[in-house]
Structure 1
Amino acid sequence: MFTLRGYLLTRFCCPKRKSCIPTNVSRKYPFKSRSFHKLLKMSDNPNKLEKILGQRHVSIKNPKIVRKKIETLIKGGASSLQVISDFDKTISKYRHLNKRCPSSHCIIETHSVIPQEIKEEMRSMAQKYYAIETDHNLTVEDKIPHMIDWNEKGTGLFIKAGVKREHLPHMVKDSDVCLRDGFVDLVDTLHKSNVPLLIFSAGVADVVEEVIRQQASVHPNMKIVANTMDFDQKGALIGFKGELLHPFNKNESALEGDPYFEEIRHRHNVILLGDSIGDLTMANGVPGVNVSLKIGFLNAKFEELLDTFMDGYDIVLEDDQTMEVVNAILEEIMG
């Protein structure tokens, strides 16, 4: 059993070092930062997980709590576990081969099927509303009406562009979207151990599923909750089904009344994966949570957001385009 022998010490300032890029993680634009070192006091024979958690791009604010949570997850085993994850920039990469990877919406917006004038309208809208979404001076309540407005206008442009169901596989195949290294192993591990994977996304459910189908596997233990397209009998987009999911209402309360709740009612241990502060609420509504280990992918604005991420997430991964940490933890849980 993993005990995280010894204990992790939080990072301290190292002014001589300008970059904390681990050897297995590349960063296109090295940044000038506080640049922390972290000491990992372990036994003479550290196990795989201990070594991985000791890498420089892994930040842990409270090592003792993280150790206790991991030990609780291991004790509960696969039968008590569920995994909840965001999709865009969490399951999918933030960048690949020094190129930004598109979100599920952008996969549609940038495809050749979309007329150029509509692409320009979408680009202008994205600049406007994304600035609102990420403005730390606005409250969530202030942002929500803008997110709804963004979705309604974007849906109108998708319909105007003539998006059809048959376009989606080609849009995904032609895009630069890429799943994180190790995601295939992650979903296979969860499937073999019958651990449910709930994917919460403010993106397009049809595109999310198509990406996973093309680059990994869609297993029966996987549930995708996102904005699902509605097509007419000819396969033309006419809108989206149900209530809008946006970055600020993604949580399991959105599944109220869904049979999925009954299937996971006995699973009180949660691993949560996200890439934004809004993703921290995805486990809200899970009944009787025993322990929730939150792992955050900090993809950009490292200087600006590290402290905020460390306040919310148990483990923060800076510029890591892999599932290495998550898979190492699952390996210990599955035995």
Structure 2
Amino acid sequence: MIYHIPWLHTPVRTVLAIWHQLTKSEIPELAKGSVLMRERRRVEETIHAMKQAGAGSLQVISDFDMTLTRFSHDGKRVPTTHNILENRLLMNEDSTKKMRDLLNTYYPIEIDASRSIEEKLPLMVEWWTKVHELLIQQRIRKDMLAQAVKVSGTMLRDDCRLLFDRLAEQQVPLLIFSAGVGDVLEEVIQQNHVFHSNVHIISNYMDFDHTGVLQAFKGQLIHTYNKREGAVHAAGLRALQGRPNVLLLGDSLGDLTMADGVSQPHNILTIGFLNDQVEERKESYVNAFDIVLVKDETMDIPNAILSHITSSRKKQ
């Protein structure tokens, strides 16, 4: 019996084109020009493993400022939770100027690729401590926070609401670690109508006196490079138990420690938003994150991956 082998006389170029078509990603969004990957095959294998395990094995861990929120809009920086407090409703002009001076001093250090994390640690503590002291001195009123958020111009990334809603529908926990101000963060989420029951937040929370005036900050200080401690604390949350697969979103190398508290992790896929100083930081981000999104103000990639993971598996 003679078998016909259809590919035998097919030009090599055509065979390669067919093979590429057969093996191309099931997530076309990964072909976006803003996407960088060091090991694409490993990324796709991880996503496939997560899909096989299903939504019941998944949790999402994310930073907030400049990760869930936009970095810029129409050429202007979008305010972070700390920036939102720089409002005449809450702070006088002198303190606002001091806050911005601190940002101009310490932010370049935070993102300086030539400095080690160990070198940055004490400087980050110094920065956050000074900011919190300034805020306490202003005797900020709790009842003014909602209005400050409303007029701030802060924005979630495009289609971030879709991410929140899909996670809620699939009952996938969303754990938000933030070095910002938790009270402000919660208000941003509330005003965007996405504070679902699956959302858990670990951040710097204000401590108000009986008259509703800020008198201190609660608990341990959380800054960009000590989220590992918060991750270990979060490990005790019952909602996260039995969910060994993690989709992690961040905009800083310090965010990579947010999954350190996950018990017996099976698969961790990290997505890093590279918002500025791209050329200086690109190499370190590509070496650290599985997927790097360069100046991408959308949630296209996380949404596409989440949709793929949580979609029903086809019957064999």
TM-score, structure 1 length as denominator?
Answer: 0.83
Q: Which SS does the other structure have where 2:90 is aligned? A: coil
Deviation at 1:45, TM superposition (A): 11
Question: Offset at 1:160?
Answer: 1.9
Partner of 1:29: none
Distance 1:254 1:45 in 2: 37
Q: Does 1:130 align with 2:107?
A: yes
SS at match of 1:256: helix
> 1 or 2, which has the higher helix percentage?
2
2:33 and 2:234 map into 1 onto residues whose CA distance is: 43
What is the letter of the counterpart of residue 193 of structure 2?
Answer: A
Task: Measure the CA separation in 2 of the matches of 1:267 and 1:252.
Answer: 20
1:108 paired residue among 85, 88, 96: 85
The separation in 2 between residues aligned to 1:310 and 1:259, in whole angstroms, is 31
Distance of aligned partners of 1:263 and 1:203 in 2 relative to their CA distance in 1, 3 Å threshold: same
The amino acid across from 1:171 in the alignment is A
Q: Is the 8 A contact 2:231 2:257 kept in 1?
A: no
Q: Structure 1 residue 152 and structure 2 residue 126: aligned?
A: no
C-alpha contact 1:253 1:284 (8 A) present in aligned 2: no
- Which amino acid letter does the alignment assign opposite residue 21 of structure 2? S
Q: 1:161, CA displacement in angstroms?
A: 1.8
CA spacing shift, 1:116–1:64, aligned 2, 3 Å:
same
Secondary structure in structure 1 of the residue aligned to 2:248: strand
**Count of aligned residue pairs for this structure pair:** 294
The aligned residue for residue 6 of structure 2 is: none
**Residue type at the aligned position of 1:285:** G
> What's the counterpart of residue 179 of structure 1?
156
Aligned residue for 1:274?
A: 250
2:31 maps to which residue? 54
Match of 2:11 in 1: none
Letter in 2 for 1:43: Q
- The answer to whether structure 1 residue 332 and structure 2 residue 308 are counterparts is yes
Query: Where do 1:1-335 residues align within 5 Å?
Result: 42-43=20-21, 50-251=27-228, 253-256=230-233, 259-260=236-237, 262-335=238-311
Offset, 1:99: 1.7
Distance in 2, Cα, partners of 1:53 & 1:68: 14
* TM-score, normalisation: structure 2: 0.88
Quote the sequence identity (%). Answer: 41
- AA matched with 1:323: M
In the TM superposition, structure 1's runs of 4+ consecutive aligned residues that sit over 4 Å from their partners are 44-47, 252-255
Deviation at 1:254, TM superposition (A): 4.3
> How many Å separate the matches in 2 of 1:265 and 1:44?
37
User: Greater Rg, structure 1 or structure 2?
Assistant: 2
- State whether residues 235 and 261 of structure 2, in contact with CA within 8 Å, keep that contact through their aligned partners in structure 1: no
Contact 1:89 1:275 in 2 (8 A): yes
Would you say the 8 A contact 1:80–1:267 is kept in 2?
yes
Is this contact kept in 1: 2:225–2:254, CA < 8 A? yes
Residues 202 and 253 of structure 1: CA distance in aligned 2, closer, same or farther (over 3 Å) = closer
Contact 2:202 2:230 in 1 (8 A): no
Question: Displacement, 1:51?
Answer: 2.0
CA change 1:265–1:80 in 2 (3 A) is same
Determine helix, strand or coil for the equivalent of 2:32: coil
CA 1:119 to 1:287, structure 2 compared with 1: closer, same or farther past 3 Å? same
Quick one: distance in 2 between partners of 1:75 and 1:170?
45
Q: Please state whether the residue corresponding to 1:88 is helix, strand or coil.
A: coil
- 5+ residue gaps, structure 2, are 1-16, 312-316
1:300 Cα deviation from its structure 2 partner: 1.0
Asked if the contact 1:111/1:175 (under 8 Å) is kept, the reply is no
Distance across 2 between alignment mates of 1:256 and 1:50: 34
Distance 1:252 1:218, change over 3 A: farther
Structure 1 gap segments, 5+ residues each:
1-38
8 A Cα contact 2:231 2:258, kept in partner: no
Aligned to 1:14: none
Superposed CA deviations along residues 256-296 of structure 1, whole A, max 9, x for unmatched, are: 38741x33121000000011111111111211000000011
Shift of 1:200: 0.4
Q: CA RMSD in A?
A: 2.0
Return the letter of the residue paired with 2:28: K
Are residues 257 and 222 of structure 1, via their aligned partners in 2, closer, same or farther at CA, if it must alter by over 3 Å?
closer
